[in-house]
Amino acid sequence: SRFETCWPALMKDSHGVIIIFNPELPSHLKEIEMWYSCFVQQQPLLDSQCLLVAHHKPGSAGDTENLSLAYPLNKLKLIHSNLEEDPEDVRMEFMKYFRSIVTLINESREREEMSIIS
């Protein structure tokens, strides 16, 4: 991709990665493996710092039951977004995710402060 030179700047000091994809495009399913590898595994971030969002376009079949992702993507938190049908559900999931990231940041900051003190 022509933006690869920007990736290190994007990744620097990042605490979380949200990967949004169209589950109806087979090419997207291959691409998210690459995004996960570059942005999560190589950083390295924990799997809990990554959120996958399968975004269903308005009027699409939106088959949310049969989306089975291969390892290692199947270890990640996956939410389905369909803003026509259930925007509130998606909002709640995002809030949960952001809260978990904030908790992780606070915990690592506390660990750093304790190591400085001791």
Segment 98-105 shows an average pLDDT of 96
Q: Quick check: is 1 in a domain?
A: no
Where on the phi/psi map is residue 62: left (φ > 0), alpha (ψ -120 to 50), or beta? left
How do 17-21 and 50-55 pair as beta strands?
parallel
Examine residue 8 and state whether it is found in any structural domain, yes or no: no
Number of domains within the chain? 1
> What digits encode the pLDDT tens for the residues 30-89?
899 999 999 999 888 999 999 999 998 877 765 556 688 889 999 999 999 887 777 888
What is the domain range of residue 92?
Answer: 14-117
The count of residues in the chain is: 118
